Amino acid sequence: MALLTPQKAQDLLNDVSKAPDSQSILLKKRKDVFLEVSLHTRGVRPSFRDLSGDNGGYIIPPRWGGKEYQYIFETFLINRHPREADVTRQWRLSQYRPHTKAPFGMLTDILRGAIFQDSQYTLTLPDKDDNDYIWGNNFQGMNLITYMSEVVLPGIIEDPNGYIVRMPSKPYFDQTADRLEIMILFVNSKNIVYDGPEDLVFKHGDWGYWLTPGAIFRFDKVDGGQYRVDPRGYFATMLGHLPASIAGGLWNNDGYYDSYYDKAIPTANEYISSFSAEQLVDKEASHPYITQIADDCKECHGSGEVNWPGENGEPPRLRACPKCKGEGLTSNNPADRLKVPFSDWEKLKDGGTVLNNPDTNINKYHNDKNGKIMSDILRALNLLNIDAAQSGNAKAIDQEKLYMFISTVSNKLFDTILFPTISDIIAFRNVRATGDGKTMPYVYDFTLIKPSQFQIKTAADLLDELINSTKGNIPGFIRKRQITEYVDKRFAGDDVFQKKTQVIEQLDDLFVYTEDEQLTMITTGKVQKTDLIFSRNLPSILDEISREKGTRYFKNASIDDLKALVDAKMKPLLVVKNFAVLDGNGNPTDVQNQPNN
């Protein structure tokens, strides 16, 4: 039963400090997780003061995330060294580039591709209207699966304490369709006001919401930014549970989740600080410098001062020499043209001026150090050795870790987010009468088969495995699975070829074997010769059917329908009197053929 009342929910929306202390502390910790992770995943940049002009105003770069991110940059990541001038620190802030976004984005792309390949999952609703609804562009212009891939998955990664909320997209009196239109929101943890087992209060756009197991309340923002309950925004769900799922991640026993990327965050933070130091060293110490004989300034004769006659009533006095800026030595400024008397020419030839290169050992140290830190980030994300150029045990171990990681995220997403989301959509859109004359939400059975394997290897890796399996005489049923994985990877965008492969897998038991293996099986009597004829002709017959019937029919036809067409075209080919095979010594011999019954 809900613990709040409409008035209490309204008070919390208007003043979050009215929440219990334990709630406030917990919500802050959850919000901190989001800020720390999203700084890297979103490529947030800090602002900095413009010290090149007189106004001293702040420059707001693209992807500036706001004051909360700025506080993290200035306090933890690019903090001021005790002896550092403010102008130097502002320069370091201006030079920040979001290098850490790349590895985090790479892993998210791998997750998205591995989990949401069309061949990896099955989602079907028996009700045609509901099935068309979830596969239509009804969720922020996307279908349900695309929304999960583009919005929910990144949200889980960077904000594991956020919520996926399901609710009617409009108040009941604005709904015009025969069935309710549903809105799915990813509610960021920073917008959550109260989170309890029976209550969820959050802000979204110009509205506030209070979710309970039986109803949804909407609050409008009025003048002055205050929220007021809207009687028209009430919706009785009667679900018996909150229509929301927490994103989830790595539970840390402190009452909230850490991100799945949590292991890489400390190293990524260290990279930002260390790379900023490298930038400063490169700026200060990576240019040649000149060593030359220090001649006295011709203007002040080495004193650094010259007589000034005075102006505007001021008395004459000595002032700094404008030529050498008070140094008393000849200027080394590259912009100055120095005239050397012929009598001093030999002095210069003998080494009066020397062009020196700086000691780059410090620069190399910083570069090597930061390269190692970036490698540590990739290692924490299980990405260090998965590149196709890598080989050996390190690559296999990283691929296995990455596979387990993808499996964990996939199970979480399908079991605790996608399944209840579909159930709630069905419940909102379908009702049935109970024995006492009431109407209640109705959820029927639907098919959701989550991915059981993930293609994280390259097509070249899969082909090498298949070649090695063939050389090692690995059983055919294992090779069949390897061929399926290779085709899914290599021909991911070719639906016709993938369907052709599926049909061959179902109808032909010999396709995984080499020609030598097939002929040996004929010789030893393990298969009939007509089986080999069938295997050799099946690919071309399927191509013929695809041309005659059209690719759309071919892709949508059942295996049984295609088998009937194949059998009709194959029948004349199987009536053959003689068929050449090899005897035990590898010599050709004619064996009378008997067609399959």
Residue 384 has pLDDT above 80, yes or no: no
Cβ atoms 101, 41 nearer than 8 A? yes
Mean pLDDT across the stretch 332-357?
54
What is the pLDDT, as a whole number, of residue 591? Answer: 45
pLDDT category of residue 356 using cuts at 50, 70 and 90? low
How sure is the predictor about 292, in pLDDT bands with cuts at 50, 70 and 90?
Answer: low
Question: Is residue 447 classed as helix, strand or coil in its secondary structure?
Answer: strand
Weakest-pLDDT range from 244-253, 306-315, 577-586: 577-586
Q: SS3 string of 530-566?
A: HHHHHHHHHHHHHHHHHHHHCHHHHHHCCHHHHHHHH
pLDDT score of 438: 77
- Rounded to 10 deg, the angle between the 476-490 and 495-507 helix axes is 170
Please work out, in degrees rounded to the nearest 5, the angle formed at the alpha carbon of residue 110 by the alpha carbons of 107 and 115: 125
Please state which of the ranges 171-180, 209-218, 462-471 shows the lowest mean pLDDT. 171-180
Containing 41, the helix (H) or strand (E) segment is helix 21-41
* Most confident of the ranges 120-124, 209-213, 362-366: 209-213
Q: Which of 28-37, 40-49, 340-349 has the lowest mean pLDDT?
A: 340-349
> Residue 289 pairs with which residues in a beta bridge?
356
- pLDDT at position 7 over 70: yes
Beta strand 227-229 with 215-221: parallel, antiparallel or unpaired?
antiparallel
What single DSSP character describes residue 415? I
Q: Compute the distance between CA of residue 375 and CA of residue 526 in angstroms, rounded to an integer.
A: 53
The angle, 0 to 180 degrees and rounded to 10, between the axes of the packed helices 559-570 and 529-549 is 110
What is the mean pLDDT of the segment spanning 373-401? 74
Confidence of residue 578 (pLDDT cuts 50, 70, 90): very low
Report how far residue 49's alpha carbon sits from residue 555's, in angstroms, rounded to the nearest whole number. 60
Q: Band the pLDDT of 125: cuts 50, 70, 90.
A: very high
Distance, CA of 208 to CA of 196 (rounded, Å)? 16
Instruction: For residue range 162-190, list pLDDT tens digits in order.
Output: 999 999 887 666 666 678 889 999 999 99
The pLDDT of 126-141, averaged and rounded, is 93
For 75-121, how does the pLDDT look when each residue is reduced to its tens digit (9 = 90+)? 999 988 888 888 888 889 999 999 999 999 999 998 888 888 766 78
Q: What is the DSSP letter of 189?
A: G
Residue 364 pLDDT > 50: yes
Phi then psi for residue 451, to 5 deg, are -60, 140
Residues 141, 142, 143, CA angle at the centre, nearest 5°? 135
Least confident residue range of 254-263, 314-323, 331-340, 443-452: 331-340
3-state secondary structure of 264: helix
Write down the pLDDT at residue 93.
92
Nearest Cα residue to 229 out of 213, 207, 212: 207
Q: pLDDT category, 288, cuts 50, 70, 90? A: low
The four Cα atoms 7, 9, 14, 15 give a dihedral, to 10 degrees, of 110
Euclidean distance between CA atoms 570 and 573, whole angstroms: 5
| pLDDT tens readout for residues 303-319 | 889 888 888 778 888 88
Residue 54 predicted with pLDDT over 70: no
Biggest distance spanned by C-alpha atoms of the chain:
129
Residue with the two structure tokens 């399996």: 469
Segment 515-528 mean pLDDT = 83
Alpha-carbon torsion angle 463, 410, 26, 71, nearest 10: 40
Instruction: Give first-to-last CA distance, the chain, whole Å.
Output: 69
Structure tokens that stand for 433 in this block: 């009468």
The closest of 513, 448, 528 to 480, measured between CA atoms, is 513
The Cβ of residue 447 has, within 10 Å, a number of other Cβ atoms equal to 9
Quote the pLDDT of residue 147: 95
**Averaged pLDDT for residues 50-75:** 85
Give the number of other Cβ atoms within 10 Å of residue 300's Cβ: 21
Neighbours of 1 (CB within 10 A): 8
Give dist(CA 113, CA 201) in Å, integer. Answer: 34
- Residue 596's pLDDT is what? 43
